Chain A
Amino acid sequence: MGRNPLAIPVKISQSELAALFGEFIDPQYVIADRETQKPYECDGLSMYCEMPLLVVLPETLLQLQRVLRICHSYSIPVVARGAGTGLCAGAMPNAEGVVLSLAKFDRILEIDPLARTAKVQPGVTNLAISEAAAKFSLYYGPDPSSQIACTIGGNVAENSGGVHCLKYGLTVHNILRVTMLTVEGELLTLGSQGLDSPGLDLMALFTGSEGLLGIVTEVLVKLLPVPEKAQLIVAGFDSVSAAANAVGEVILQGIIPAGFEMMDTHAIVAAEAFVKVGYPVDAKALLLCELDGTADEVEQSVQKVASVFKRLGATSIRISENEQERAQLWRGRKSAFPAVGRISPDYYCMDGTIPRGQLANVLTKMQQRADQLQLRVANVFHAGDGNLHPLILFDDSVPGEFAKAEQLGAWILEYCVAVGGSITGEHGVGVEKIRQMPIQFSDLEIQQFHRVKSAFDPLGTLNPGKGIPLLKNCQEYRALRQIQPPKQQTVAGEKP
């Protein structure tokens, strides 16, 4: 520390700062005009917008380091940005700050097929890693729905998951080493080429820290062998609770599917209308269960799962016969978000996690609450790990509709916490869920988060206003809650 010699930061104007960056960065990559800045005003959650002071796209590590040092010396907020596909306004600019785009760091530096690793720059897309590894029959495990566009740097910042994380884990389970720059521009290596490292596990802490602790400059990811075989079972059920029971029963049979997804009737109908893959449109719930492994194993498991589904009242069962059919059946699920976009002018995607046993209860209560607010909700989610993605349908052109959607969204997150879950499974807190943080955490816990933040970023200039609410706002946020906690419950850590 102690690199910032200025107790009171000297103010610098936008043009002065742009000129300073222009000394070592191609001026066309130092963006000051509003029109060119426009695409950077939000991430994938476009309801939250802000225009930054500057957008800068460095091309080398040295440039990146100098940008950080300059920002640090003037106490200018820095918001790191990958592809801007995030869904929590975690990459929303700060009005007084710099958007630091890592888009130019888009090279795969090395693939080591024997060690099963890929060394990549932060701006490499998630899918590009698997594509490059495919010639060695290897791939990168986590597969967020945005994998065509989202970058590995952003994946590390959000600890992204995807369809396959019940079996193959989240980002934190699939990376070995992260090189990062501190807010002061100091280069640090977290993790190693081995499976653990001496000292405190800063990589565990850094993963999912939403750009609040440092900037990712390089990632060494693990690669997995492509399974010999994968097969998808698609089964319709006449109630959500029947489908939810079937999910639990498969797990109790000792089977861990590679992917285990559920769609409700709104999502089924929308997806089918959009891509016409042959989903049963009369079903109330649809399960997609993918099994992978060696050929014999998959054959055995497919039979087992199919018989569980049959026994628990599946109204239709379809098993993919070849790769083409498997891809086609997945296409409905993967295009569910845009498909829902066609049946509603706007939709708002939520991301709570609940214990699997609460699935039917939460969906029923959610429906009731939506009815009260006269909103529709389509549900597409990772049933295997209890990660819900309710899509709240609304029309932004109708005054007050978004506020209602936000209200329902907040209620859903509160209810997730009330049943023992979390306000976010994989999208992150960002700006969007900051008001629900005090529902999940006590003041002491939030204070501890701020202390951790200060250990990395004492001036608080990395992605300010995201992730962790200010303590002084927590009471106000709690006062706004729609679900009151049970009386006997004391907040953790608050002993009388």
Chain B
Amino acid sequence: MSDISGELIDRVKFAQQHAQPLKIIGANTKAFLGRDVSGQPVNVAAHSGILEYQPVELVLTARAGTSLLEIQQTLAEQQQMLSFEPPLFSASSSGSSGGATLGGTLAANLSGPCRPWSGSIRDMVLGVQLINGRGELLNFGGKVMKNVAGYDLARTQAGALGGLGLMTEISLKVLPMPQLRLSLSLAIDEAAGIVLMNQLSATAKPIDAACWLDQRLHVRLSGSSASVEQSARAWQLDYGFAVDTAGQQFWRDLTEYQLPQMDSRQPLWRFSINPTSAPLEVRGDCVIDWAGAQRWVSGEQEIEQLQQQAEKAGGSVALWRGGDRSAEVNQPLPQAMQQLQQRLKHSLDPDNILNPGRLYSWL
């Protein structure tokens, strides 16, 4: 719980003056994401602490280095939560307490199984304070639910992997916890499973997770107990779903990328595509999360063949973990888009010192 923003500003200014790239590190739980970059490490984890939280406002403001675990515990005392079910990486953290930080989670835009229904961290961001590549401390967005003044440079931080600024403070919308969560599962093949998970998503039932793997569809209902129980009964009757008592552990493993199918010794590929896309032609079995919109496959694959399929399915594929991380790991972008992204980065980081090359070699 300390404020080291002055020190962080000095680090960035020094780096700019000496044209010295920086590698921004929170709890270092997601070093595997993006491309390998070299740069002077700058640690943000010590810049931590919850600054403002009033349950009635549904808004929490914390320093970027605050651990998600601390935030979740604080929210839980008021029966509230981070609605995007982020991975905590709490076991894999290296020395720091409590795993993933808020800043790292936003930089990586990581959200759990409920993402299609409850939104992502990108959706919940209200405001960000950051240090740009000139060493200027800037505030974008705010601490209120709605704010359309100025360009939304707060939300644009999501998924930028630190390339658009060193985040120091983040304000988020938080939500009440559901009264009840109930997991169901059903034996079904892949193609039919994809259709069913999309059909269920189009109903007004309180579904908030749907994942297919190993010839089984797992769904979760969350909300008021009346609504969850009534919906679960209906789906048991209509489709033959059975209550899955091991559900809680399953969703946690999925959220933390710890399912056996996500073997950390193998390259892990992630598709982000149209949820209704037919089964992908890949080596090995897919884990199909987000009701079809996020699909995982591990092992050696033909990258170009995966990219073609992703494009056909209206989305993209990334080498998410493992493999060669000095090459490009994200789907190539058209020339005009590349140039625009470079210009945007340049507008915030003219000397290319903030995590250069982490997303793409050219960014």
Contacts and interface: CB of A to CB of B under 8 A. Distances in A.
A495 B9 contact: yes
Given A138-B202, A441-B139, 4 more contacts: A200-B160, A248-B56, A444-B138, A452-B151
Of B119, B145, B164, B294, most buried by chain A (CB within 10 Å of CB) is: B145
B35 interface: no
Nearest to A1: B339
Nearest to A428: B148
A296 B152 contact: no
B27 to A, nearest CB: 22
A353 B155 contact: no
B13 to A, nearest CB: 10
Contacts of B272: 192, 194-197
Contacts of A165: 145-146
B206 A200 contact: no
Nearest to B313: A193
Given A200-B359, A294-B206, A427-B148, A193 B195 contact: no
A209 B343 CA distance: 17
A10 interface: no
Interface string B262-283: 0000000001111110000000
Nearest to B311: A192
Nearest to B315: A194
**Shortest beta-carbon contacts, A-B, top 6:** A193-B314, A194-B315, A297-B227, A254-B176, A425-B146, A296-B226
A25 to B, nearest CB: 25
B293 interface: yes
B144 A386 contact: yes
10 contacts: A194-B294, A198-B333, A200-B359, A202-B341, A225-B202, A251-B58, A294-B231, A353-B147, A355-B59, A445-B140
A263 interface: no
A5 interface: no
Interface of B: 9, 54-59, 79, 109, 115-116, 119-120, 122-123, 129, 132, 136-140, 142-153, 155-156, 158-160, 163-164, 175-177, 179, 195, 198-199, 201-206, 223-224, 226-227, 230-231, 271-276, 290, 293-294, 313-316, 318, 330-331, 333-334, 336-337, 339-341, 343-348, 359-360, 363
B144 to A, nearest CB: 4
B286 to A, nearest CB: 15
Interface stretch (A51-59, A112-120, A391-399, A475-483): A112-120
B347 A455 contact: yes
A131 interface: no
Contacts of B155: 172, 201, 204-205
Contacts, number: 286
Contacts of A385: 144-146
A225 B203 contact: yes
Of A112, A442, A455, most buried by chain B (CB within 10 Å of CB) is: A455
Contact of A297 (B143, B156, B226, B360): B226
A173 B152 contact: no
Of A199, A382, A451, most buried by chain B (CB within 10 Å of CB) is: A199
Of B160, B276, B340, most buried by chain A (CB within 10 Å of CB) is: B340
Contacts of B142: 353, 420-422
A170 interface: yes
Given A294-B204, A353-B147, A448-B132, A169 B119 contact: yes
A422 B344 contact: no
A114 B337 contact: no
A424 interface: yes
Nearest to A205: B156
Contacts of A50: none
B56 A251 contact: yes
Given A166-B145, A353-B147, A198 B224 contact: no
A355 B139 CA distance: 17
Interface of A: 1, 112-116, 136-138, 158-159, 161, 165-166, 169-170, 172-173, 182, 186, 188-189, 192-202, 204-205, 207-209, 213, 225-228, 248, 251-252, 254-256, 293-297, 299-301, 353-357, 382, 385-387, 420-429, 433, 437, 440-442, 444-445, 448-449, 451-456, 467-468, 492-493, 495
B144 A294 contact: no
Contact of A425 (B116, B148, B203): B148
A200 B316 contact: no
B119 A420 contact: no
A257 to B, nearest CB: 12
Contact of B176 (A256, A300, A467): A256
Nearest to B176: A254
A448 B359 contact: no
Q: Is the interface of A mostly helix, strand, loop or mixed?
A: loop
A386 B145 contact: yes
A254 B79 contact: yes
Nearest to A193: B314
B159 A161 contact: no
A197 B56 contact: no
Contact of B144 (A136, A197, A256, A425): A425
A424 B148 contact: yes
Contacts of B205: 294
A437 B316 CA distance: 38
Contacts of A355: 54, 57, 59, 143-144
Contacts of B314: 192-194
Contacts of B223: 293-294, 297
A357 B53 CA distance: 12
Contact of A116 (B120, B201, B226, B334): B201
A226 B149 contact: no
A114 B276 contact: yes
Contact of B149 (A195, A387, A441): A441
Contacts of B153: 205, 448, 452
A197 B316 contact: yes
A195 B120 CA distance: 9
B199 A445 contact: no
A228 B159 CA distance: 35
B114 to A, nearest CB: 12
A161 to B, nearest CB: 6
A188 B340 contact: yes
Contacts of A293: 204, 206, 223-224, 227
B146 A353 contact: yes
Contact of A113 (B58, B179, B202, B363): B202
B138 A199 contact: no
Nearest to A200: B341
Of B177, B230, B274, B318, most buried by chain A (CB within 10 Å of CB) is: B274
Contacts of A449: 150-151
A208 B148 contact: yes
Contact of B177 (A137, A207, A254, A386): A254
B255 to A, nearest CB: 15
A192 B316 CA distance: 8
B202 A300 contact: no
A199 B267 CA distance: 20
Given A293-B223, A296-B226, A451 B348 contact: yes
Contact of B138 (A116, A440, A448): A448
A493 B138 contact: yes
Contacts of A173: 119, 123
A4 B313 CA distance: 36
Nearest to A429: B149
A200 B344 contact: yes
Contacts of B337: 188-189, 199, 202
